């Protein structure tokens, strides 16, 4: 299955790995007709990653202020 690898890539600190994962995901969403269960899983992964990035960014901004 590709989803675990994409998920790990989206959460990676290695920018090239992260970018490649998002590019692969974009190509999949553009070219393939995905089942609703897979779309729901991908949506959950993206939501999880975006929350962790938001928390990280806010923490960094707060540490710079203090």
Tokens found for residue 12: 């990676």
Beta strands in the chain (DSSP E): none
Q: How far is CA 66 from the centre of its chain?
A: 29
Read off the DSSP letter of residue 13: S
Residue at token pair 């790990």:
8
**What is the pLDDT, as a whole number, of residue 62?**
44
Q: Is 1 strand, coil or helix? A: coil
Tokens found for residue 20: 């490649």
Compute the distance between CA of residue 27 and CA of residue 65 in angstroms, rounded to an integer. Answer: 39
List pLDDT tens digits, range 1-58: 788 888 889 888 888 998 899 899 889 888 988 888 888 888 888 888 777 655 555 5
């Amino acid at each position: 299955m590709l989803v675990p690898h994409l998920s790990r890539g989206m959460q990676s600190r290695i920018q090239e790995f992260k970018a490649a994962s998002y590019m692969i995901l974009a190509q999949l969403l553009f070219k393939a007709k995905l089942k609703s269960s897979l779309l729901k899983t991908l949506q959950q992964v993206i939501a999880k990653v975006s929350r962790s990035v938001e928390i990280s960014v806010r923490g960094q901004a707060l540490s710079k202020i203090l």
